[in-house]
Structure 1
Amino acid sequence: MNGQEMERLVHKYYGYVADLEGSGVEALDLLFVRDKIQQLLDASGPEEQIPLPLFEQIHDLDRALWAESETFRMVVGDRELQHARRQQRSPRSHWWWYLDELKIAPQSGPKPRSHIAPVLVTA
């Protein structure tokens, strides 16, 4: 896994989540960026260390996206979201494509701790 690529994608994801009232195109791009983040997470193995703060940031951004799902849906439109989801053939595990269908917050979180780099805390 390319750590710089992951950081770049998380930074981009942050920008989109922070400004959900942008254009529908940007909001849809957010979904593709989140897909790329997930692909990198899924491809990472035990030998690849992902810093805990990066995992936490992804999780926090996911929670923020969920909390603002109504805004996201207003910007994109449910019909456009459904069309994009069909075109992408997104699995249900990629919950961010299903903001129009989900009734409760998704269970998202980091992989097992073996994939997370330890963070040293100094006193």
Structure 2
Amino acid sequence: MSRVRTATGRVADYVHASVPRRATLALGVSLTFLLCVELAAGDHLGLLPIPLAVGLAAYLYTRRSGQEALAASAYGTGLLAVGLFVLQVYQVVATASTESPAAAAARSGWWLVVGALLTAAGVGIRRLDL
């Protein structure tokens, strides 16, 4: 655990050192999120990922410390992934699709798994004593 704490501390210190580094983290995480969602969902979600990525970037940029920004980049992305899972299952129900909600949940269940893992990682980073 000490190696994880040391590595996390170094990255948090690097991000905390200057505003441009925090902006780079915010932009990089948001663009990575946008790219991953667009590649995974294709045209299925329309323009929704763009305002989500912009909101994530704004949220990450406003964090006060490097550790907060690093933790928020994990749990913020994770919570958005869980939200996209719920949205995809809801779309099946709301549009009266021939696909069952259970099948939609199984098809897009990886969003839930990845989101839960990222959220847990972000909470873990936030609780570390650096």
Tell me the TM-score normalized by structure 2.
0.30
Identify the structure with bigger relative contact order (alpha carbons < 8 Å, sequence gap 6+): 1
Larger Rg computed on CA atoms: 2
